[in-house]
């Protein structure tokens, strides 16, 4: 991922320097376990434990010759080991994937914990924003067309619960990727005791794979990537709502716009929804990783490395992009400007058409058949309002008179109040208040 979208904490998780630190940690634990079991001399443990991780530059220089990253790492680390002779027992009985998959599990868990922390904060931001606007009336829209009265807090509550579900989904996926294996070539433990694997797993707080061949099957990593993609897409759903709300014709919502910020190089009046548009674009990057990662599940026999090059790109890119998106979505919702007056103006802009559903039901309750009488009458009145701009109550009165029907004006006043449409949302807001 390019530096523009890489935040420092997540960037470090996927840095080569940190990767080699984790590789050293895994290899050291294996050496310790072997020494405790009497497989290798006990006096090699301290030299290995004290050897500093090799620099990325040192590893890359050797890899340019060996064309094998693990061998290059082991050689560079051996150069840092005093005495160097102790390094001969590093990687004892292991195969490359033992190291790679176990260290990758650690990286995935670390990345997940960063994401979960930010998701927690975003859930709280969305919850608090929704509760603040539980009485902020706006028009609810379907297909982009005005439907019925609603409150802005209702819309945001949906996002809050969706983000909470996404967080919980990712929490479950954390378990799916916290899986390691140290089982040797083709995974039969031919040159390493399963007790070594259990020792390392316990120390790293990872779970040994139920079965490993030479690699851990990638279904857990595919699950994790899918969980990231869903969370990213929830962020995009929030962003899309803001983008629509900031359109000139709507003008109900405004992204935070800082002092000195410029919206356009050519048009000084512009305040564009650039945060939301950026979120929409980055969600595509996260979603795009699902198929390549999933295609790493089927490998040739006990292993090949067709998954390796994909994961070197897809896993860092997905987590770094989502990390940035969570940060940006939190900023968006924390600084979002809600124009209550404009929402009320839009609510009233169609001359009462947003109450047609209630009027329809009132006519049915008064004794009219729904499909043959009430619906056509209300629709005729509504179409006249669309075409002429005459308020719906006036066109309805005229259509009712033509049909020989006297309207109960007081009753229509009662049911044509926005508060009536959202009264039953109270239990939902109570559940929202308890969301953490």
Catalytic residue among 190, 264, 309, 357: 264
Q: Whose CA is closest to 87, among 33, 39, 24?
A: 24
143 is catalytic: yes
Q: What is the DSSP letter of 349?
A: T
Q: What is the DSSP string of 218-261?
A: THHHHHHHHHHHHHHHHHHHHHHHHHHHHSTTT--EE----TT-
Residue 108 Rama label (left phi>0; alpha psi -120 to 50; beta) = alpha
Q: Whose CA is closest to 215, among 191, 190, 180?
A: 180
357 is catalytic: no
Q: What is the DSSP letter of 58?
A: H
Catalytic residue among 143, 265, 269, 301: 143
Q: Whose CA is closest to 54, among 27, 72, 28, 29?
A: 72
How far apart (Å, rounded) are the C-alpha atoms in residues 248 and 430? 34
Residues 111-120 as b or e (16 or more Cβ within 10 Å = b):
bbebbbebbe
Q: Whose CA is closest to 223, among 175, 180, 182?
A: 175
How far apart (Å, rounded) are the C-alpha atoms in residues 224 and 108? 9
Residues 407-426 as b or e (16 or more Cβ within 10 Å = b):
beeeebeeebebeebbeebe
How far apart (Å, rounded) are the C-alpha atoms in residues 88 and 264? 62
With 0-12 / 13-18 / 19 or more C-beta atoms within 10 angstroms meaning exposed / middle / buried, residue 94 is buried
How far apart (Å, rounded) are the C-alpha atoms in residues 50 and 57? 20
Which residues form the catalytic set?
Answer: 143, 264
């Amino acid at each position: 991922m390019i530096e523009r979208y890489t935040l420092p904490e997540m960037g470090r998780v996927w840095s080569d320097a940190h990767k080699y630190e984790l590789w050293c940690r895994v290899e050291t634990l294996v050496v310790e376990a072997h020494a405790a079991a009497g497989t290798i001399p006990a006096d090699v443990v301290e030299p290995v434990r004290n050897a500093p991780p090799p620099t990325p530059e040192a590893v890359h220089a050797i890899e340019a010759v060996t064309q094998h990253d693990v061998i290059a790492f082991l050689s560079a680390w051996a150069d840092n080991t005093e005495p160097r002779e102790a390094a001969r027992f590093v990687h004892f009985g292991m195969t490359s994937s033992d190291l790679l998959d176990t260290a990758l599990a650690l990286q995935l868990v670390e990345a997940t914990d960063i994401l979960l922390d930010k998701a927690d904060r975003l859930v709280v931001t969305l919850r608090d924003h929704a509760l603040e606007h539980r009485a902020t009336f706006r028009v609810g829209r379907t297909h982009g067309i005005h439907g019925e009265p609603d409150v802005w807090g209702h819309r945001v509550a949906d996002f809050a619960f969706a983000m909470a579900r996404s967080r919980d989904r990712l929490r479950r996926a954390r378990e799916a990727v916290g899986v390691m294996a140290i089982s040797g070539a083709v995974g039969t433990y031919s040159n390493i005791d399963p007790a070594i694997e259990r020792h390392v797993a316990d120390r790293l707080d990872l779970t040994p794979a139920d079965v490993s061949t030479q690699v851990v099957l990638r279904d857990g990593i595919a699950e994790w990537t899918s969980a990231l993609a869903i969370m990213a897409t929830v962020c995009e759903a929030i962003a899309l709502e803001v983008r629509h709300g900031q359109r000139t014709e709507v003008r109900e919502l405004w992204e935070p716009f800082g002092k000195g910020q410029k919206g356009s190089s050519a048009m000084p009046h512009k305040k564009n929804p650039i945060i939301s548009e950026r979120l929409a674009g980055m969600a595509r990057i996260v979603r795009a990783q699902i198929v390549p990662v999933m295609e790493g599940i089927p490998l040739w026999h006990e292993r090949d490395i067709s998954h390796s090059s994909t994961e070197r790109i897809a896993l860092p890119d997905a987590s770094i992009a989502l990390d940035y998106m969570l940060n940006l979505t939190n900023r968006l919702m924390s600084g979002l400007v809600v124009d209550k007056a404009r929402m009320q103006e839009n609510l009233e802009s169609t001359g009462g058409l947003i109450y047609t559903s209630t009027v329809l039901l009132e006519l049915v309750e008064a004794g009219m058949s729904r499909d043959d009488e009430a619906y056509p009458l209300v629709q005729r009145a509504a179409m006249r309002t669309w075409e002429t701009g005459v308020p719906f109550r006036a066109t309805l009165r005229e259509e009712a008179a033509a049909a020989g029907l006297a309207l109960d004006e007081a009753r229509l006043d009662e049911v044509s109040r926005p508060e009536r449409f959202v009264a039953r949302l109270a239990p939902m807001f109570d559940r929202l208040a308890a969301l953490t």
